[in-house]
Chains A and B, each alone.
Chain A
Amino acid sequence: MNAQTIEKYFVPEPSIYPIIGSISLLLLGTGASFWVNSLAAGPWITALGFAVLLYMLFGWFGAVIRESETGKYGKNVDSAFRWSMGWFIFSEVMFFAAFFGTLFYVRVISVPDLGSEVGQIFWPGFKAAWPSAGPHATEAFESMTWVGKSTLAIVAVIAAAAMLTFAHGPMEKGKKGQLQIMLGLTLLIVVLLLASLSVSWVPVINTALLLASAVTLTWAHWSIRQGNRGQFNLFLALTLLLGVVFLGCQVYEYVHAYSELNLKLTSGVYGATFYMMTGFHGLHVTIGAIMLAVMLARSLSGHFTKDRHFAFEAAAWYWHFVDYVWLLLFVVVYIL
């Protein structure tokens, strides 16, 4: 306990934004309840809720940014932000854990149970296999499985992720050469992954995109630590671009799935898990991309210094989290 003993912890003034946020969530909750029950007012109330939410986000984050830029946050506040971002990401991990657990359960327990010997009493003739839309499936569909050289892909994905993780070491120590080698190798793996393209190219491309975005993001981080704002902006923008292309690919994938594979949200438990998992992931990519965009805008208007840029780091943590979730998704949803 050193600096903080004298440092006065910043406690914000009373604020109107939380209650605005609450009003927005009340509207969203009510609106959504109405909407899913086909009440005419539903979409309108929901839209209003979103509008209020946007207003609140702008106001609240605006206040935080102002406070930060006017130097109100000391070291202690900074470490508070670090703790909180870490725990927040942990809560997100647990949210995804619920769905990964679900996928595991249906594949390992419920579908095999339904196709088992006793299961035949209820569902005569049903054969357990994955992908499955269950014993009562009415329409045929094709799955999104990536039928490529799966082992190679898993190894490549893990290697690339490991590379990236290790790249942090040289970065912390400021060893430019090593860092560049690490990042270069990651990119190489990404290219290899691309080269092993097979029938369903979207998930592979997407994996490559996100891995590449992790590289550019780390590069951006490294740039700001060197105080090189121009390069920081460039690589941040590149990361954002990769993220947006990812989302574009995902939209394409969904369209393709609906129109050509007849794979829908209602395609039994395969469709349900596929869309819920990739969908929630896509939502998180969107949120991460918005964060990065805000960081880019802030950097362009002169925020962040080479020593103080936690907001950016938080966004980067979030992006890496989204990245790792994708890698896991890629393996368990598409490959296995």
Chain B
Amino acid sequence: MSAVPHDVAHGHDHHDDHHHGPTGLMRWITATNHKDIGTMYLIFSFIMFLSGGVMALTLRAELFQPGLQVVQPEFFNQLTTMHGLVMVFGAIMPAFVGFANWMLPLMVGAPDMAFARMNNWSFWLLPPAAILLIGSFFVPGGATAAGWTLYAPLSVQMGMGMDMAIFAIHIMGASSIMGAINIVVTILNMRAPGMTLMKMPLFCWTWLITAYLLIAVMPVLAGAVTMVLTDRHFGTTFFNAAGGGDPVLYQHVFWFFGHPEVYIMILPAFGIVSQIIPTFARKPLFGYASMVYATASIAILSFVVWAHHMFTTGMPAKTQIFFMYATMLIAVPTGVKVFNWIATMWRGSMTFETPMLFSVGFIFVFTLGGFTGLMLSIAPVDIQYQDTYFVVAHFHYVLVAGSLFALFAGTYYWLPKWTGYMYDEKLGKRHFWLSMIFFNVTFFPMHFLGLAGMQRRVPDYNPMFADFNELATVGAFGFGLTQLLFAYVIIKCIRGGEKATAQVWEGAEGLEWTVPSPAPHHTFEVPPVFEAKGHHH
């Protein structure tokens, strides 16, 4: 493998060594450099994570005990809704795009993203969307309180905050589509000579497929919320029986987007974990080809399972059975992935630095969430789980311990490459253990709450649910505080520390490790020649 890191001799204390464009704020506003844009994505998503987290903590505080102590029901619903929207569209999705920006060009040996200027716009569309979304708290009537799923006709009843959310979704959708097109083209068109598709790092594969999902479903979401908008203001009756429409139609359109969306939030996580495990097992990824096929299968299946969110809407038995079977099938390719990771670890020579800890934690806890997903897919039983805290537990297991943990893992893994310094390993490990423990303290009891009969999206509940709710709230605050530790570790690492080598990790492989740490502002201006080390063929 040979790379062409020019000027390696010069110092690399700062990114802007080779940076010739505007400086100061304008550098960021006008940035066309994938690393700068990646950094902005990551910072933005972390801010959104904190905002969504504060909303979660507020609703957890209200749920600490029965009765209303902290917020009123209407505001509680706004918090729930905005927590979901902000976490999904503001935190998790942009964070993965940030990783894609930083790492894809480095991994495929490209000088930048295919459309650097459009890349800038994809990012800079997010702050306006966030302003509209969060700003909606402050308009008359407050933010939308219809749940992140924005089900009609409840969403038709909402005030002006709903319209702001709709336009925010339009803007975020545009951002996602442009970002996805950029990623697809970068991967398909800009790989270094010698890097065939089946030799790409798995992270590239997962993102390629995710980008395809994004392009396919974001426009459908735009269509769904546009119909809500016209039902609200222009007298259409898409979701109103009086005019021949149907509220359930909204759910179909939404979930046609919504289910692939959850895989949009997990496939890149699979990719990150697939990079990390081989590194720390010092052993090539087991079953590379089957990993690719499994990812593609998950993506394809994700288009035909949407109605598993709608088992209680009352559809014909045949339809239920179809969607139940299709959903269950997803366990097979996901299982293949889990088994491949474990087979990669098997007879490796493992060490457990923070990225590896988070990856192993990911497999363990994500799989638990996958199993509850499988339980939910059993239509006749889902009738009892649906809209309870059991579902809330399921999706936080896959989203927090899944997506978020993988994001943490990836951050620790590539942080030295980004900053040029090693992070504080001791604190990193502490972050892992505290996160792991508090995560489970927060969300494990929610399974019981749901089974015992506590429904979602309520500010108040019967005292029989009190103790688990207390526990969950305590866990949530612990988990939240732990994330401040994460922020501290990052800031500390940006400011200095032990110098990182280009290779950073003993077992790491790939083009990104052939450039110095920190990666210079411009890399691979002339494509490197990629020779795979004879592994996956």
Task: List chain A positions with a Cβ less than 8 A from chain B.
Answer: 1, 4-5, 8-9, 11-19, 21-23, 25-26, 28-30, 32-33, 36-37, 60, 76, 79-80, 83-84, 87-88, 90-92, 94-95, 97-99, 101-102, 105-106, 109-111, 113-114, 122-123, 132-137, 264-266, 268-273, 275-276
Contacts and interface: CB of A to CB of B under 8 A. Distances in A.
Main secondary structure on A side of the interface with B: helix
B244 A12 contact: no
A268 B243 contact: yes
A25 B125 contact: yes
A24 to B, nearest CB: 9
Contacts of B117: 12, 15, 17-18, 60
Interface in B217-266: 217-220, 222-224, 227, 229-230, 232-238, 240-246, 248-249, 252-253, 256
A132 B242 CA distance: 11
A271 B168 CA distance: 27
Contacts of B456: none
Given A113-B246, A135-B242, A265-B234, A25 B171 contact: yes
B67 interface: no
B32 A14 contact: yes
Given A17-B117, A22-B125, A134-B243, A29 B160 contact: no
Given A11-B112, A94-B216, A36 B30 contact: no
B85 interface: no
Given A109-B246, A269-B243, 11 more contacts: A12-B116, A25-B125, A25-B174, A32-B167, A36-B163, A80-B190, A91-B177, A91-B219, A113-B246, A114-B241, A137-B244
A33 B27 CA distance: 32
A95 B27 contact: no
B189 interface: yes
Contacts of A271: 236
B14 to A, nearest CB: 17
A287 to B, nearest CB: 14
B126 to A, nearest CB: 9
A292 to B, nearest CB: 22
Given A22-B124, A87-B215, A8 B525 contact: yes
Question: Most chain-A Cβ atoms within 10 A of its Cβ — which of B193, B246, B526?
Answer: B246
Interface of B: 21-22, 26-27, 29-32, 110-112, 114-118, 120-121, 124-125, 127-129, 131-132, 160, 163-164, 167-168, 170-171, 174, 177, 180-182, 184-185, 188-190, 193-194, 215-220, 222-224, 227, 229-230, 232-238, 240-246, 248-249, 252-253, 256, 525-527, 529
B131 A26 contact: yes
B232 A272 contact: no
A135 B244 contact: yes
Contacts of A22: 121, 124-125, 127-128
Contacts of B193: 1, 4-5
A79 B191 CA distance: 13
Contacts of A25: 125, 128, 171, 174
Contacts of A264: 235
A36 B129 CA distance: 18
B124 A29 contact: no
A80 B114 CA distance: 7
Given A33-B164, A269-B238, A8 B526 contact: yes
